[in-house]
A and B are shown apart, each in its own frame.
Chain A
Amino acid sequence: MKTKYIVAGVVIVAFVVFGAISFMQNNIAYVSAKTAEKTNRTVQVKGSWVRNMQSYYDPNTNTFHFYMMDDDKTILPVVLAGAKPNNFEIANDIVAKGRFEDGAFQASEVLTKCPSKYQSKTGPQASTQSASNSLN
């Protein structure tokens, strides 16, 4: 009977430790662009797309290149492995996950946070209403 509890206890502890280690390894810390440039760990940087600086998609490497500005107003060149993310144009916040390497932030993923995507701030307006719908 006692051995049963010991075995069960060991198994549970093993799972908890395994889960905790996996959690820490895969939980990616938020850092500033300046810190991201210095560390060689995988991190995530929150900021906004610098619309007016150059951005383009390179089909040869399947990478999307752009500049982002973090909350401290530091500009970070980003190379995303993949095409321009959905909703990129309208996102007011973006989060890039990756690592700084070879002079640019090599992002494996860029998440976009959209401003009240499904909600209107002003409600229906008399004049613009029909116009905006004809575009749909």
Chain B
Amino acid sequence: MLGRILIYAAFGGMLTAAFAYMYSFFSGDTKPIKIARAAYHVGAVSVILTAGYMMNLLLTHQFQYTYVWSYSSYELHPPLLISTFYVGQEGSFMLWTLYTSIIGLILMVYSRKHHYESSIMGVFSAIATFLVLIFVIKNPFEHVWQTWPSTVKAGFMPDNGRGLNPLLENFWIVIHPPILFLGFASTAVPFAHAISGLLRKDYRKWINVAVPWTLFTSAVLGFGITLGGFWAYETLGWGGFWGWDPVENSSFIPWLLAVASVHTLLVQRRTGGFKRANLIMGMLPFLLVLYSTFLTRSGVLGDTSVHSFETPGMWVYVFLVALIAFFAAIGFGLYFFRVRDIPKQKISYTLTSREFALFLGAASLVIVAGFTLIGTSAPLITGILEGKPSAINASYYIKTNLPLAIVMAAMIGLGQLFWWKKSNSQTLLKTMRFPLTAAAVLTAIVSFAGMHDISMILFFLASSFALFVNLEIAYKIAKGKPAFMGASLAHIGIALLFIGIIASTHYDKHVTLSLSPNEPQTAFGYKLTYTGTTQLDHGQTAYNVMVQSGSSRFNAPLVMYASQYNGGAMMRHPYIFSLINYDIFSHPALLAFIGKNMLTRDLYLSPQGLEQVGESALQATQYGISIPLKLNEPVKVGRYTYTFTGFQVPESERKAMMDGRPFHLNSIIKITNDAGKIQTIMPTDEIEPNGNTKLQSVTTKAGDKFTVLDVHVNDQTKMAAITMGYLPADNSPDISLLKQAAEQAQDTKQGLVIEATIKPFINLVWGGVLVMVIGFIVTWRRRRAELMQEQAQPVSQ
């Protein structure tokens, strides 16, 4: 009940604030502002209390609440228990709302100082109102008996909750979503400022506040996305850090637009140009966050996304469409209403000006965002055009975005060398000499080393050029004004990231190994030995693979288990030898091993499954000794030599098989005795569509009984094999073979199938992003300090 009251208070507060602020803005009356401030405070405090109330329910295990029951349990440790707050649909919206409310409190103080509070906070309160409306429509504090009225009795208190999905039970769920959602929430600030600028016909000053916030969004969202990529690489075993999945793309697109906006805003600051473009660019990240939320939460992606979100029901769909329509209509409506009024500043620039490089860079970012958006919306587009939603292949993104990435990399280098307005070609050539030579030499070396793909060579050349240009500039700035090196740091980061992407995704090598217990195999210079299993907590099993390089060796526990939570599905976790490996704390010896082998490449070991090894092993079954036979490979057991020569399937049976009806399969086996006498038998199996097999044995004149126990056809290699049961006639000397087979059966071991991958220079991906984020933060701090100064001594601009 308390939860509902808090939600209504929050909604009432935010709605009142939105109307009071807007009334004040349009009427020019300053009196309602006081009401609006009080109302916003009521709203924000209620949101904070609502979140606190939810957190309290989770921490005190109030399983009578559906949300608490659905995502948490007694077994969860505090950090994971806290993370259940935002694991579900309602909770993640609540986290977004919480951030938005708190950002609004900060924004209120800012905008008040700068005398544009009513318009900014009017828009911002409207956004907060809509977010709170989600909880008015869908109560997050529903009791279990309200959710499942037909199966759960009123007042029922479950013993325990369902718990957290084991896939999410790790450190990353604690850190990745809170950072990502902070990035999402922060996009509302530039949006509110752009709208406020349009409302006030102030097309210049709004950007002063928007710049630091856009930098903040770029840093936070960029960092959050990377954490997600690292999570996928490190724990989920997807093999890579990026899969172009809609859920990944949906945070990538707003980030691209925020970064593009950083660049176009810079042009406006320096030259006064791009006023119209910047208003649109200020709105887009927020609108795209809304659109992405719609794509990934409403269920429109259907079964085309790997991330299966729960099917949320119609209300989310309708609500999110209304939300996008509302804010897009306000934004674009106002823009088109004002567009004639926006002064056009002609900026005269040449092809070798920094403005042009910034424009090209930003344009590339926007086009990448556009291509990615279209690809992500493919299920929606094809659903409308073809009637059946289908996802696009990941190759689409690479094909469309690669040329743009090359342009971007080139501009990251050139843009820093160009001057504003026009560059002196003499100086330009002089400054280009070092980075261009260095990049060309490096590219020549790597193409000798095996990079032959022309698009990769171009991408590498442009990226390394960008790297050397920015390294040189960063070095110069660091000696003078380190506070100004943010841009070159961010660009160094991007250049490193690009090189890391080329190396780790285009030049990775992988091999699938079937490891028999204690029989070493060599891959990529490492000796890999499957040494056995270790039982872990929660019914999970580690399959230990000893990895040896030179004299040093280390055990890699590859984890596989059937997850009860996910309906018994098999979960597989890789083990990665990389510079980022926490096991060095428990195993200091690992440090030397990693330092020696993993500086330039990761070894990624991913478990695939278990299989019976020792195919030649005879086994004792109720049908006698089981003998595996490969096509046309004679096998001698006891008195006879057996050759499996193929199957015989009549046409009628073939049709039955394709129609899914029971069908008969005859296996042809040639039996040769010591005297060279040949006899051919054809045991028949009747295979029903439900997989049950009726075996029909063949008894020879000598009294030996043969049965085909299993049929095995490799569709790719066309290799057929069968397992034949052989029951010798009574008192046959072969009976001793049965004993032998029984003994061998006990020795039968399970082999481990793993995929070993070498990821060259993947550390450049992580390192690059880190440097880039630091660059954003350095610039953000500088712009914020400038803003503070401007506010301290209001200068008329």
Q: Is the CB of B715 within 8 A of A111?
A: no
Which residue of B159, B370, B388, B569 contacts A90 across the interface (Cβ within 8 Å)? B569
With A135-B564, A136-B538 as given contacts, are A83 and B753 in contact (CB-CB < 8 Å)?
Answer: yes
Interface string of A23-50 (1 = CB under 8 A from B): 1011111100000000000001010001
Q: Is the CB of B303 within 8 A of A29?
A: no
Q: Is the CB of B567 within 8 A of A89?
A: yes
With A114-B567, A133-B163 as given contacts, are A53 and B308 in contact (CB-CB < 8 Å)?
Answer: no
Q: Is the CB of A69 within 8 A of B609?
A: no
Looking at the assembled complex, report how far the CB atom of A38 sits from the nearest CB atom of chain B, in whole angstroms. 14
Looking at the assembled complex, report how far the CB atom of B178 sits from the nearest CB atom of chain A, in whole angstroms. 19
- B687-729 at interface with A (beta carbon < 8 Å): 688-692, 711-712, 714-718
How big is chain B's contact interface, by range?
35 or more
Q: Is the CB of B567 within 8 A of A123?
A: no
How big is chain A's contact interface, by range?
35 or more
A44, closest chain B residue (CB):
B390
Which residue of A22, A25, A116, A124 contacts B156 across the interface (Cβ within 8 Å)? A124
With A22-B399, A83-B609 as given contacts, are A27 and B390 in contact (CB-CB < 8 Å)?
Answer: yes
With A22-B399, A135-B564 as given contacts, are A114 and B715 in contact (CB-CB < 8 Å)?
Answer: no
- Tell yes or no: B791 within 8 A of A by CB: no
Q: Is the CB of B158 within 8 A of A129?
A: yes
Which residue of B66, B567, B660, B718 contacts A102 across the interface (Cβ within 8 Å)? B718
Interface core residue of A77, A83, A104, A132 (most chain B CB under 10 Å): A83
With A15-B367, A113-B303, A118-B165 as given contacts, are A59 and B514 in contact (CB-CB < 8 Å)?
Answer: yes
B571, closest chain A residue (CB):
A86
Q: Is the CB of B151 within 8 A of A90?
A: no
Which residue of B144, B308, B659 contacts A123 across the interface (Cβ within 8 Å)? B144
Looking at the assembled complex, report how far the CB atom of A83 sits from the nearest CB atom of chain B, in whole angstroms. 4
Q: Is the CB of A102 within 8 A of B390?
A: no
Cα distance A136–B162 when bound, in Å?
Answer: 9
A126, closest chain B residue (CB):
B156
With A73-B660, A95-B303 as given contacts, are A63 and B386 in contact (CB-CB < 8 Å)?
Answer: no
Q: Which residues of A contact B66 (CB under 8 A)?
A: 123
Q: Is the CB of A113 within 8 A of B308?
A: yes
Cα distance A36–B741 when bound, in Å?
Answer: 45
- Tell yes or no: B111 within 8 A of A by CB: no
Interface string of A102-121 (1 = CB under 8 A from B): 11101000010111111110
Which residue of B144, B571, B715 contacts A104 across the interface (Cβ within 8 Å)? B715
- Tell yes or no: B676 within 8 A of A by CB: no
Interface core residue of A29, A63, A111, A136 (most chain B CB under 10 Å): A136
With A26-B396, A61-B717, A83-B753 as given contacts, are A132 and B564 in contact (CB-CB < 8 Å)?
Answer: yes
- Tell yes or no: B345 within 8 A of A by CB: no
With A60-B514, A102-B715, A133-B160 as given contacts, are A87 and B393 in contact (CB-CB < 8 Å)?
Answer: no
Q: Is the CB of A83 within 8 A of B163?
A: no
Give the interface segment out of B22-30, B68-76, B210-218, B489-497. Answer: B68-76
Looking at the assembled complex, report how far the CB atom of A70 sits from the nearest CB atom of chain B, in whole angstroms. 11
Cα distance A72–B69 when bound, in Å?
Answer: 39
Cα distance A84–B566 when bound, in Å?
Answer: 16
Which residue of A29, A123, A135 contacts B390 across the interface (Cβ within 8 Å)? A29
Which residue of B151, B370, B569, B714 contacts A122 across the interface (Cβ within 8 Å)? B151
Q: Which residues of A contact B790 (CB under 8 A)?
A: none
A113, closest chain B residue (CB):
B303
Q: Is the CB of B714 within 8 A of A58?
A: yes
Q: Which residues of B contact A56 (CB under 8 A)?
A: 712
Interface string of A49-88 (1 = CB under 8 A from B): 0111110111111110100010001110101000110111
- Tell yes or no: B88 within 8 A of A by CB: yes
Interface core residue of B166, B370, B660 (most chain A CB under 10 Å): B660
- Tell yes or no: A125 within 8 A of B by CB: yes
Q: Which residues of B contact A122 (CB under 8 A)?
A: 148, 151-152
Looking at the assembled complex, report how far the CB atom of A61 sits from the nearest CB atom of chain B, in whole angstroms. 5
Q: Is the CB of B162 within 8 A of A65?
A: no
Cα distance A118–B658 when bound, in Å?
Answer: 36
- Tell yes or no: A130 within 8 A of B by CB: yes
Cα distance A103–B657 when bound, in Å?
Answer: 13
Q: Is the CB of A104 within 8 A of B156?
A: no
Which residue of A15, A28, A57, A95 contacts B611 across the interface (Cβ within 8 Å)? A57
Q: Is the CB of B310 within 8 A of A19?
A: no
Cα distance A49–B370 when bound, in Å?
Answer: 36
- Tell yes or no: A18 within 8 A of B by CB: yes
A132, closest chain B residue (CB):
B564
- Tell yes or no: B450 within 8 A of A by CB: no
B390, closest chain A residue (CB):
A30
B564, closest chain A residue (CB):
A135
- Tell yes or no: B746 within 8 A of A by CB: no
Looking at the assembled complex, report how far the CB atom of A33 sits from the nearest CB atom of chain B, in whole angstroms. 10
A-B contacts, 10 listed (Cβ < 8 Å): A23-B396, A29-B386, A58-B714, A60-B717, A69-B660, A89-B568, A97-B393, A118-B70, A123-B151, A123-B152
Q: A84-B608, A124-B158 are known; give 7 further A-B pairs, CB within 8 A.
A: A28-B390, A46-B303, A53-B691, A104-B716, A114-B308, A118-B70, A135-B539
A-B pairs with the 6 shortest C-beta distances? A52-B691, A123-B148, A26-B396, A90-B567, A124-B158, A59-B514
